[in-house]
Amino acid sequence: MAESEAVSHETGVAAHGSLAGQHQKPHPGCNILFLCRDNSALSIMAQALLGRCEGRGFRAFSAGSHPATEVHPIAADLLKANGIWSRALKPRDYGRFLDHDSPSVDFVISLGAQAPAGMPSSWPGDPQVLHWRISEPRADGSQKENLLAFRKTFTELETRIKLFVLVNERKARKKIAAQSTTGFPQPAHPVLANAHMDRTVKLDENRPHVGHGAKGIGQARSHSQTIGNDRRFVSE
């Protein structure tokens, strides 16, 4: 089986090992698996964006139902421009996360206008299964139109992930503390998607942002959507 790494930034974050190795040494924090159909843009960008928060107790993976042969060039260029590109970012099949020796995840989050068809309704370890409604970047327009579409998607993902980290960081740290005491990973807690937030998400003003991202935080609206037998959280 080919190796499946979480984000390994070229700026210095060490690469993770194989799926089997990750299963033997589970990450003590919060593991998130992002899904889209081909794992070439949406879920790859989400993995890279959340990968910046590994030091805050989060680790990201991504996969697809019909993985492409490579990361979309525009997505790769955006990640490089924002300093979060990694050679470890590769399209992968979600099936490897259904194996008994796959890394345990706390959240499985599908991305796109709607959840990709054919995705499993249950996963090993009984993680929280969510769907985020994110604009799917077009690739059939002019070069300028395609770039603007990818920038819009990147900004939506960045805004949603900042909110996700803000809401779940305390739980991730509690899980780390509990595991350091017991030596075993603790079960995942449901996401507090509508929890009251008593502090403001602040974008990194020192890093150039693409698109029109900053105002998106205050405009994020959420509602629940039933998909099959699962109750999934949808962010517009």
Domain architecture of the chain: domains with CATH: 26-235 (3.40.50.2300)
Residue in 115, 130, 133 with CA at minimum distance from that of residue 193: 130
- pLDDT tens for each residue of 37-96: 999 999 999 999 999 988 788 999 999 999 999 999 999 999 999 999 999 999 999 999
- pLDDT tens for each residue of 163-213: 999 999 888 888 778 766 655 554 443 333 333 333 333 334 444 444 444
Give dist(CA 111, CA 59) in Å, integer. 17
H helix runs in the chain, sequence order:
19-24, 42-51, 73-81, 143-182, 216-219
- pLDDT tens for each residue of 163-176: 999 999 888 888 77
pTM of this prediction?
A: 0.67
The dihedrals phi and psi of 168, each to the nearest 5 degrees, come to: -105, -5
Give dist(CA 130, CA 191) in Å, integer. 9
Position 43: which residue type?
S
How far is residue 69 from each of residues 4, 38, 72, 129, measured CA to CA in Å?
15, 9, 9, 26
